[in-house]
């Protein structure tokens, strides 16, 4: 968020007063972060008080959109009306990301060649948010879409129990069952601007050789932001239908670039309470 913060400081916002951060532990799903959400609520109330009791806008990126949605749905209407102006999630994997399947099958080193994916695989498999971000078996539009191709078996969202067994991590199914429906993909109860980018080649499927799951796959590409496919990014249109809601689509920006692009930052500023 460095570029975003610097942009808004240049526009007159003040660090620690009118622009504030709320980082969370990315390893744990929302139901394991009760203390964090209590602190977030206190931070929002304090920020409002510091700024003439104006309501606050929440700007999030990636999985932060799911965390933000979960938080807002946990508050009562009076509190939302008093303290929240707008929710602005960017490039959120609303119904998951196909790329996340690499983490469980073979480890994902984010294409950093000096890091062995197999070395970090066990740690990555232990994160609650790993299964939280897998393609959602209840929301994925094409339940028969093959997400993982191997010489011996193909896997769709219908095949998670078999997938987890075949990669030697059967406990993954129990982890998924524990988190898959934590965040309801329903309206957050506040005005929302959903921002996402498309036009970047993005993994829509993984193709493995005979070395599955201990080799890296070929990534079958489709549309999205380079990390999240367009069907997941655009899912917000399914539940954002209240007056004041808006969606904005940018082209050619990858998952991280959306945080650094002046055109996007200027649009976000247009959505904020001055």
pLDDT of 258 over the 70 cut? yes
Rounded to whole angstroms, the Cα distance separating 154 from 228 reads 21
Q: What pLDDT does residue 64 have?
A: 98
Percent of the chain with pLDDT over 70: 99
Integer angstrom CA distances of residue 252 from 256, 261, 267? 11, 11, 16
From 61, 70, 187, 255, the catalytic residue: 255
Summarised one tens digit per residue, pLDDT across range 4-17 is 999 999 999 999 99
Structure tokens at 12: 């007159």
Task: Count the Cβ atoms, other than its own, within 10 Å of residue 269.
Answer: 13
Task: Please give the average per-residue pLDDT across 212-241, as a whole number.
Answer: 96
Q: What pLDDT does residue 181 have?
A: 87
Task: Please give the average per-residue pLDDT across 232-243, as a whole number.
Answer: 95
From 57, 60, 62, 106, the catalytic residue: 62
HSE, side-chain direction, 13 A CA sphere, residue 187: 15
The reply to whether 62 belongs to the active site is yes
What is the dihedral angle through the alpha carbons of 162, 175, 220, 150, rounded to the nearest 10 degrees?
-20
From 166, 225, 232, 245, the catalytic residue: 225
pLDDT of 175 over the 90 cut? yes
Q: What are the boundaries of each domain within the chain? A: 2-95+187-197+224-271
Summarised one tens digit per residue, pLDDT across range 196-208 is 999 999 999 999 9
The reply to whether 197 belongs to the active site is no
Summarised one tens digit per residue, pLDDT across range 46-104 is 999 999 999 999 999 999 999 999 999 999 999 999 999 999 999 999 999 999 999 99
CATH number for 2-95+187-197+224-271: choose from 1.20.1250.20, 3.30.300.20, 3.40.1350.10, 3.40.50.1820.
3.40.50.1820
Task: Please give the average per-residue pLDDT across 99-115, as a whole number.
Answer: 91
Rounded to whole angstroms, the Cα distance separating 131 from 242 reads 30
| Reported confidence tier of residue 223, pLDDT bands at 50, 70, 90 | very high
pLDDT of 274 over the 80 cut? no
Q: Where does the chain show beta strands of DSSP type E?
A: 56-61, 84-90, 148-149, 154-155, 193-198, 202-207, 218-222, 246-251
| Reported confidence tier of residue 112, pLDDT bands at 50, 70, 90 | confident
Summarised one tens digit per residue, pLDDT across range 120-169 is 999 999 999 999 999 999 999 999 999 999 999 999 999 999 999 999 99
């Amino acid at each position: 968020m460095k570029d975003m913060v610097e942009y808004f400081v240049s526009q007159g916002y003040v660090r620690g007063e009118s622009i504030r951060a709320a980082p969370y532990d990315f390893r744990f799903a929302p139901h394991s972060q009760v203390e964090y959400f209590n602190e977030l609520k206190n931070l929002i109330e304090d920020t409002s008080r510091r700024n003439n009791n104006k309501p606050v806008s929440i700007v999030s990126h990636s999985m932060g959109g799911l965390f933000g949605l979960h938080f807002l749905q946990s508050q009562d209407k009076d509190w939302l009306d008093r303290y929240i102006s707008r929710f602005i999630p960017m490039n959120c994997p609303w119904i998951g990301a196909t790329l996340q399947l690499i983490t469980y099958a073979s480890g994902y080193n984010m294409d950093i060649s000096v890091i062995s994916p197999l070395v970090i695989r066990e740690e990555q498999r232990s994160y609650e948010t790993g299964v939280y971000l897998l393609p959602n078996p209840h929301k994925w539009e094409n339940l028969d879409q093959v997400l993982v191709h191997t010489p011996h078996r193909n896997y769709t969202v219908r095949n998670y129990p078999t997938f987890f067994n075949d990669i030697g991590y059967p406990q993954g199914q129990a982890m998924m069952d524990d988190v898959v429906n934590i965040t309801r993909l329903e309206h957050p109860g506040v005005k929302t601007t959903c921002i996402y980018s498309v036009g970047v080649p993005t993994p829509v499927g993984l193709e493995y050789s005979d070395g599955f799951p201990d080799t890296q796959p070929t990534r079958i590409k489709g549309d999205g932001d380079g990390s999240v496919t367009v069907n997941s990014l655009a899912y917000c249109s399914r539940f954002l239908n209240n007056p004041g809601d808006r969606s904005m689509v940018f082209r050619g920006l990858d998952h991280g670039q959306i945080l650094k692009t002046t055109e996007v930052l200027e649009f976000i500023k247009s959505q904020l309470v001055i």
